[in-house]
Amino acid sequence: MKAIVVYFSLEGHTQYIAEEIAKNLKADTLSLKTAKAYPKGKLARMFWCGKSAVFGEKPKLAPYEFDASKYDVVILGTPIWAGSHAAPISTFLEKNNIGGHKVAIYACSASGDAQKCFEQLKNKFEEVIATVSLINPNKQTYAEDISKVEAFCKAIQERI
Ligand SMILES: Cc1cc2nc3c(=O)[nH]c(=O)nc-3n(C[C@H](O)[C@H](O)[C@H](O)COP(=O)(O)O)c2cc1C
């Protein structure tokens, strides 16, 4: 089974989990970056990133290489922004047709509530084989998250 984790991470939590999933599944990773960086300040980020998610913006991405035909499964990773997925994920999905692919999705948030995000994304794909929601995961919290990540990876392996 060949998998790729395609993710956007503003503050590192989603990236941390991407790396753990990649280790577990021997998967490739693709870290999406916006062509123009989001602002650094907390309030400015809340405003600009929140607005981009609410209005379904598709910010230009920095160049990347992605060939869906190389993979059995595409794992999407996103932080929750205003209840939804991060705007750069919208850009990626618009540019890359992975609708017919097997897809798994994980989301990182402050609250653990990723329901709306999962529902929105599930409509875009033929088959979502696994989802998992994590609360601001990082090295310190990983002891609590590891069982969730392992179950997510196992579900993916079983459904390929
Ligand atoms: C603009 C913005 C909006 C956010 N909205 C939510 C939200 O609606 N619900 C929530 O639980 N967390 C929300 N968060 C918190 C992030 O989802 C959370 O901290 C996540 O782990 C960040 O992942 P990252 O470090 O990979 O960027 C928001 C963060 C930002 C920057």
Give the 3-state secondary structure of residue 59.
coil
pLDDT of amino acid 50: 96
Q: Pocket of ligand 1, candidates 46, 48, 80: which has the most ligand atoms within 8 Å of its Cβ, to mutate? A: 80
7 lines ligand 1 (CB under 6 A): no
Nearest CA to ligand 1 atom 16: 109
pLDDT per residue rounded down to tens, the chain (160 residues): 999 999 999 999 999 999 999 999 999 999 999 999 999 999 999 999 999 999 999 999 999 999 999 999 999 999 999 999 999 999 999 999 998 899 999 999 999 999 999 999 999 998 899 999 999 999 998 888 999 999 999 999 999 8
Backbone angles phi, psi at 30, to 5 degrees: -130, 110
**Residue 95 phi, psi (nearest 5):** -85, -20
Task: Identify the helix (H) or strand (E) that includes residue 4.
Answer: strand 3-7
Q: Which domains does the chain have, with CATH numbers?
A: 3-158 (3.40.50.360)
Check: CB of residue 76 under 8 Å from CB of residue 104. yes
